[in-house]
Structure 1
Amino acid sequence: MYAKCGSIEEAWTVFEKMPSGNVVTWTTIILGHVQCQQGQKALELFEKMQQEGVQPDSVTFVGVLNACASILALEEGRGQVCRQQIIQSGLESDVFVGSSLVDMYAKCGSIEDAGKVFKKMPSQDMVSWTAMIFRHVQCREGHKALELFQQMQQEDV
């Protein structure tokens, strides 16, 4: 609540008073920093969370990928740490993680990687379709964007 209202300092005060950090508390503070446009700090917290032995879940990875996208840190998102952990956690096929990967790759200008992840997803949601369509528009590939939009409609998304 504090972070969503722009009071990341207040969020920290609450976080530091909690008896032990778990995946929920760590993910919440990471997402708070993403919400407050502090992507680099969110990535630093992700590393610290892991150093403390807390295993990330799908929501954590969504936040980390959003942090990467917000600071256009393709190598952070593609890097061994995040990508390998997503695979090892068995979350590569998770629609939310997959959509976040598509969005991160697309925002960072790697439309090819975004397309690869998009095609591997067992199902695509509105976020992944929109990310792909919007990035094709940004790359001045209007024809491809329209094709994807038609495909999306055919699949009742």
Structure 2
Amino acid sequence: MNNWKLATIILAILLGISLMWSVQQRDNFEKTQLKAYVLEHAQLEYALKDTIESYEHGGSQKELGERLHWLSGFVVNINPAGQTVAYHSFDFDYDTNVVLSEVHRKARGNQATEEDIDRLKTLHQLINRFQKSALDNVEHKTVDDYEADFIEFMEYYETQKEYLFK
């Protein structure tokens, strides 16, 4: 009878260790996906900055429209796979695509205005703030840290959103 008790205790311990390892692996996977999600925003930030600067240094509206078209396609593909806390910032990603698409359509018709360029600059500043706060101390962040950063950014974004949709 004592052998059964010992075997049950050992099995329970092994099951507990296995469960803890599984949870840790899931968290590591989610952290990796969140980091990739934020790095994609860093790429977007750089590409948008380059697009704005190129236009301001004598680029044509047609070229601006083409680059914004590419960027709007890039934004559509920014999404972490699986279940992550990144859902907090999905409204920002959606609005980013809306702004890029609207200015893209105007620029392709050679009708983009300074106000549209200002919208792109505001969007650039918002993306920059998002990626900088989310990449701060990235190697030591937990999933909860990412979630807190996303929530904090979205609270800020709600106060700035009106400048994108004038």
- TM-score interval, normalised by the smaller of the two chains: under 0.3
Task: Tell which structure's C-alpha radius of gyration is larger.
Answer: 2
- Using the size of structure 1 for normalisation, the TM-score is 0.26
Give the structure, 1 or 2, with the largest relative contact order (CA under 8 Å, sep 6 or more).
2
Query: Which structure: greater helix fraction?
Result: 2
- Using the size of structure 2 for normalisation, the TM-score is 0.25
